[in-house]
Amino acid sequence: MEATELDREKTAPKRLGVVDCDIHPSFENPQELGKYLPQRWRDHLRDFALRTPSPFLGAMIYPRMTPGNGMRRDSWPPNGKPPASDLPFLREQLLDQCNIDHGVLQPLAAGAVTNNQDLGAALCVGINDWQIDKFAGPEPRLRASICVAQEDATEAVAEIDRRAHDRRFVQISIPPRTIEPIGRRRYWPIFEAAEHYGLPIGLHTGAFGQRPNTPSGWSSFYLEEHYAASNSLQTVIVSMIMEGVFERFPRLKIVVVEGGFSWVPSLAWRMDREWKRMGSEVPQVKRKPSEYLRDHFWFTTQPIEEPEENRHLDDLLRWIGADRLMFSTDYPHWDFDDPRFAFRTPLDPADRAKIFRENAMALFRLDQ
Amino acid sequence: MEATELDREKTAPKRLGVVDCDIHPSFENPQELGKYLPQRWRDHLRDFALRTPSPFLGAMIYPRMTPGNGMRRDSWPPNGKPPASDLPFLREQLLDQCNIDHGVLQPLAAGAVTNNQDLGAALCVGINDWQIDKFAGPEPRLRASICVAQEDATEAVAEIDRRAHDRRFVQISIPPRTIEPIGRRRYWPIFEAAEHYGLPIGLHTGAFGQRPNTPSGWSSFYLEEHYAASNSLQTVIVSMIMEGVFERFPRLKIVVVEGGFSWVPSLAWRMDREWKRMGSEVPQVKRKPSEYLRDHFWFTTQPIEEPEENRHLDDLLRWIGADRLMFSTDYPHWDFDDPRFAFRTPLDPADRAKIFRENAMALFRLDQ
């Protein structure tokens, strides 16, 4: 079955390329990051290492049982270095083979979850330099994310100011599990800068945060942590809407990355219902909460929750809007979605073009 | 429109009565609870008051702007005491007027969220005595919940043992926001007792808990806290399933109260998708997560999230199953659902009978 599809693919006329909104570049080794840090922080890392609330660099974040220890089994480059650390191999295996015209790099930013906030800011600067130097500079199909350490908004804005005029950066990346609810004013300078420069904010779901991942503390299992609940992203959306972020920043655009999307309609219904009765608590919320959700949020596709009936996926697409979903592979992670096989439900060709290409082209201004 | 419906209702032939799964009885005043406590704890409350992680008795839990300060405006009894503190008035306004044959009392249990766990256990004993003495004893249409302080499972089981043979108690009530994820083994003695006695466990959504209500700390607004996110209940379900609770207790039944239900299908799809690939992390989970969800969980209806299209509510009902929803009013709270007007979508008469009566009759064994 897969072979037949692949054969058909090979002989089909060349189609317009896909945009992949979620590619995770990797360091070749821990020393590689060091090259992009000032001596002061290289010394610090040598003497004190990285202190984060949860395991990060150098620790297991994926279960060993996942194919390839969290990575696609076939994603190790011939030089034996980590998956997605070698540009020529990434170019061949992902961009060429999957017909990807543009790919957005999403470094899983250690800087954003480092306890030492000055070190966090320095890590983000280094990671941003490295993305250009190693990937987005030599390969124009790849675009970078401005990683910032969101808890110190002043430093974060300084880094955004430094990068925003470089069109190889197409979004600002912060983690959704912030120390305080993300709609609070301490984060508004970042939103202001994002709006000012017309850069979307990418919120990539993550296992990491300064606080436990559920209102009953840390969950026991990877299944709970990574996949089974997309709770933190729901609270993120509610917080941004209820704090009035989109009234203050009406052109702000948010991309929810790797959080799924099947929970979006029910969240909207729930918010609308009570806002009708209790809106006076949040005078900063001038419109139905679902309107902000529809106007300001985009969702990447991987991982697609799979309803038992295709009809339910159709309903979801209709509610969320084919103009609000954007294809992503999550390369090189084990649960990679191949653009040739993603979406079990048949898509209308116009919707397919939007989801696999056009929405991201427009949102990230990739034709510039 | 409402008047016409009411007129039609008045002249319609008497129908089989409704079962209401969520009625909140109230103390007449703080002293009333004292009468049900041993002297040791009366003295303690006098000298130290109740220490909880969040405001509780005596503090505002509902916004003042809600109709009647959180209560239905017309729910004050003629004696001027608090809503739902006066049995004759509750009987007339709720049971008689809404044609309720059976109603399940859901005390919002201070005992379960009291920092002093011995005091918590004593409060639960007092609240259980009071439910019988004041409501379920004199009024056979009302049934009580065995309130327990779940963090000390030994004391909780002792209280269940004391009450379970009294058929006026029809469920065990614990709050979903436990100190650790609710599926952990520290809570299993309670599940074991529940299964042993054939009593469902009612998890009533609540603003209270020892931990912040989101993975980014406390949210700012009542809208976020109470309604906009039903996140904690989602993590509760995931935790119980992934920890293997239902393999160990295959006859355990859980009622999710006042948490909505439109998020249930997407949660199930998400759990199933990854369990297929990563099930070996949780060998205690032998079947698809959605099967446990379908077999072990019931949901009360109030508050019903209202999709924009009735068709979506139909889909939801079909997925969850009309045999898993149970009508509730939330009397006397401001967002009360009247059984005559709840459910905008037209229901098949057989489904209506299940949701408004039969499911709860069977689950709580109300014909006994």
Question: pLDDT tens digits for chain B (368 residues)?
Answer: 344 444 544 544 456 899 999 999 999 988 899 999 999 999 988 888 777 775 444 344 566 656 566 788 899 999 999 999 999 999 999 999 999 999 999 998 678 888 888 999 999 999 999 999 999 999 999 999 999 999 999 999 999 999 999 999 999 999 998 999 999 999 999 999 999 999 999 999 876 778 888 888 888 888 887 766 788 899 999 999 999 999 999 999 999 999 989 999 999 999 998 898 888 889 999 999 999 999 999 999 988 877 878 788 888 888 899 999 999 999 998 888 898 888 777 888 999 999 999 999 999 999 97
Residues 6+ apart with CB under 8 A from A149: A109, A111, A112, A114, A117, A120, A121, A123, A124, A155, A156
> Looking at CA atoms only, how far is residue A366 from chain B in angstroms?
31
Please name the residue of chain A whose CA is at the shortest distance from the CA of residue B243: A220
Candidate from A243, A315, A335 with C-beta closest to B315:
A315
CA distance A79 to A231: 39
Residues of A in contact with B65 (CB under 8 A): 278, 280-281
Query: Pick from A107, A72, A76, A106: which is nearest to A89 by CA?
Result: A76
Domain with A211 in it: 19-363
What is the dihedral sign for C-alpha B213, B216, B220, B223?
A: negative
Tell if the CB–CB gap between B282 and A223 is shorter than 8 Å: yes
CA distance A64 to B99: 58
Tell if the CB–CB gap between B228 and A178 is shorter than 8 Å: no
pLDDT, mean over chain A:
88
CA distance B50 to A317: 49
Query: Pick from B8, B100, B61: which is nearest to B329 by CA?
Result: B100
- Residue B335 is assigned to a structural domain of this protein: yes
- Provide the pLDDT confidence category of residue A63 given band limits of 50, 70 and 90: low
| CB contact A231 to B (< 8 Å) | yes
| CB contact B197 to A (< 8 Å) | no
Tell if the CB–CB gap between B278 and A184 is shorter than 8 Å: no
Residues 6+ apart with CB under 8 A from A261: A299, A301, A305, A316, A320, A325
Candidate from B177, B179, B281 with C-beta closest to A223:
B281
Tell if the CB–CB gap between A271 and B217 is shorter than 8 Å: no
Query: Pick from A20, A30, A24: which is nearest to A333 by CA?
Result: A24
Please name the residue of chain A whose CA is at the shortest distance from the CA of residue B308: A269
Q: Is the pLDDT of residue A227 over 80?
A: no
Tell if the CB–CB gap between A262 and B260 is shorter than 8 Å: no
| CB contact A186 to B (< 8 Å) | no
Please name the residue of chain A whose CA is at the shortest distance from the CA of residue B177: A216
Q: Is the pLDDT of residue A48 over 50?
A: yes
> Looking at CA atoms only, how far is residue B332 from chain A in angstroms?
17
- Provide the pLDDT confidence category of residue A205 given band limits of 50, 70 and 90: confident
Of A368 and B164, more confident: B164
| CB contact B242 to A (< 8 Å) | yes
Mutate to test the interface with B, among A65, A235, A313 (most CBs of B within 10 A): A235
Tell if the CB–CB gap between A215 and B215 is shorter than 8 Å: yes
Q: Which of A29-43, A173-187, B6-20 has the lowest mean pLDDT?
A: B6-20
> Looking at CA atoms only, how far is residue A10 from chain B in angstroms?
29
Tell if the CB–CB gap between B267 and A263 is shorter than 8 Å: yes
- Residue A108 is assigned to a structural domain of this protein: yes
Query: Pick from B207, B201, B170: which is nearest to B187 by CA?
Result: B201
What is the distance of C-alpha B348 from the center of its chain? 26
- Residue A329 is assigned to a structural domain of this protein: yes
Report the share of chain A in percent with pLDDT over 90. 62
Token pair listed for A156: 């974060």
Mean pLDDT score, A259-283 = 89
| pTM of the predicted protein model | 0.86
- Provide the pLDDT confidence category of residue A67 given band limits of 50, 70 and 90: low
Candidate from B182, B221, B236 with C-beta closest to A282:
B221
Residues 29-68 of chain B whose Cβ lies under 8 A from any Cβ of chain A: 63, 65-66
Report the run of H or E that residue A267 belongs to, with start and end: helix A264-278
- Residue A164 is assigned to a structural domain of this protein: yes
Of A58 and B254, more confident: B254
Entry field: residues in chain B: 368
CA distance B235 to B313: 23
- Residue B5 is assigned to a structural domain of this protein: no
Tell if the CB–CB gap between B235 and A229 is shorter than 8 Å: yes
Q: Is the pLDDT of residue A306 over 90?
A: no
- Residue A302 is assigned to a structural domain of this protein: yes
Q: Is the pLDDT of residue A340 over 50?
A: yes
| CB contact A230 to B (< 8 Å) | yes
Residues 148-177 of chain A whose Cβ lies under 8 A from any Cβ of chain B: 176-177
CA distance A192 to A194: 5
Residues of A in contact with B183 (CB under 8 A): 220
Tell if the CB–CB gap between A232 and B243 is shorter than 8 Å: no
| CB contact A267 to B (< 8 Å) | yes
Domain count, chain B: 1
- Provide the pLDDT confidence category of residue A61 given band limits of 50, 70 and 90: low
pLDDT of amino acid A100: 97
Cα-Cα end-to-end distance for chain B: 39
Residue B170: CATH number of its domain: 3.20.20.140
Residues of A in contact with B230 (CB under 8 A): 270
Token pair listed for A280: 């006076």
Of A210 and A154, more confident: A154
Environment class of A59 (CB within 10 Å of its CB; exposed 0-12, middle 13-18, buried 19+) = exposed
- Residue A220 is assigned to a structural domain of this protein: yes
CA distance B259 to B234: 9
Please name the residue of chain B whose CA is at the shortest distance from the CA of residue A285: B223
CA distance A214 to B236: 9
- Residue A3 is assigned to a structural domain of this protein: no
pLDDT of amino acid A211: 86
> Looking at CA atoms only, how far is residue B75 from chain A in angstroms?
18
pLDDT of amino acid B35: 94
> Looking at CA atoms only, how far is residue A216 from chain B in angstroms?
5
Residues of B in contact with A312 (CB under 8 A): 265, 315, 319
> Looking at CA atoms only, how far is residue B215 from chain A in angstroms?
5
